Amino acid sequence: MSGQKLPLKCSVDYISFSAHTDYQQTSEFIRELKPPNVVLVHGEANEMARLKAALLREYEDTTDFKIDVYNPRNTQAVELYFRGEKMAKVVGKLASEKPKQGDKVSGILIKRNFNYHIMTPDDLTNYTDRAMSTVTQRQSVSYTGSLSLLVYYLQQLSGKIDQFEKQGKQCLKVFDAILVQVEPKIVTLEWVAGPVNDMYADSVLTVILRAEADPVPQKAVPVAIKVDKSHFQECLLEMLSDMFGSETINKLIKNNVMSLTIDNKPVEIALDTLAVKCDEDDQLQSIIHTAVNKLHQAITPINSA
């Protein structure tokens, strides 16, 4: 203090706090923590390689946990992969019944205070401060054609449609989701917005524009083709006959399976699943499978596909 010496009134002790451990201490430390990854740093390369090999030998037969040991060079990056598991609690209506093994739980995933919950949209107001809302879209387009022509085209698109009157207006319900109101020289589409309904609405709008461009008079509107299982089978027989010849097809269908013999190779077509089986020729199987599926997509309405 200011160049003066003061008498020492405390004891001075020297204690070694070495940061270096031997192999036994390192191994015990790892066994207690059970880390999935161990990175060796701050050491001579050969010695770290020996330590890595020793650790791998010691824990290679351990069934409690799996360990990966790394000894990277300076500035070498090490990528560690961890499996993140999150647990979500099912609440509300979804939790009213105990799910069975294999059941799928579908709902809205909500994260709140680092906790996850799955619930139905109707339960949002009960368990969160959020609300569920719907957006109704409406689109009008000019249409001067007849109602029967419009019905004809929409039936080709979706199969069955509902036709009724609402407030004195002729209405059509397509895909059970798109309401089509027909007024003089105008057609109005109305639907609840959503990914699927929006695509349905685009398809219906395309059909309306197609009907508007069709000059067919009302008396000449054809009867809608009823696309059912028997109609598809007839079209399939005709297509396969054109492709391979009628002599290759066995027209007797057993258990919903159509049989063909092409170049002495038996082929089976499952009419319910559209699966094609030809054990002797994978390329022929692929050709027939593509043709069958494209035919089904071409003639079958969307609701029946």
Beta bridge partners of 20: none
**Given phi > 0 = left and psi -120 to 50 = alpha, else beta, which region is 134?**
beta
Q: Of these residues, 20, 42, 231, 289, which one is catalytic? A: 20
42 noted as active-site residue: no
Structure tokens, 101: 């093994």
| Tokens (6 digits) for 20 | 């270096």
For residues 196 and 182, the answer to whether their CB atoms sit within 8 Å is: no
Closest CA relative to residue 258, chosen from 279, 275, 282: 275
Evaluated on CA atoms 32, 38, 43, 49, the torsion sign reads: positive
Q: What is the C-alpha to C-alpha distance for residues 52 and 38, in angstroms, rounded to an integer?
A: 9
Q: What share of the chain is helix, strand, coil (3-state, %, to 5)?
A: 35, 25, 40
Instruction: Give the number of C-alpha atoms closer than 13 A to the C-alpha of residue 5, restricted to the C-beta side.
Output: 2
Q: Where are the alpha helices (DSSP H) in the chain?
A: 23-33, 45-59, 124-127, 147-158, 195-212, 229-244, 282-299
| Residue of 296, 294, 303, 290 whose CA lies nearest to 272 | 296
Catalytic residues: 20
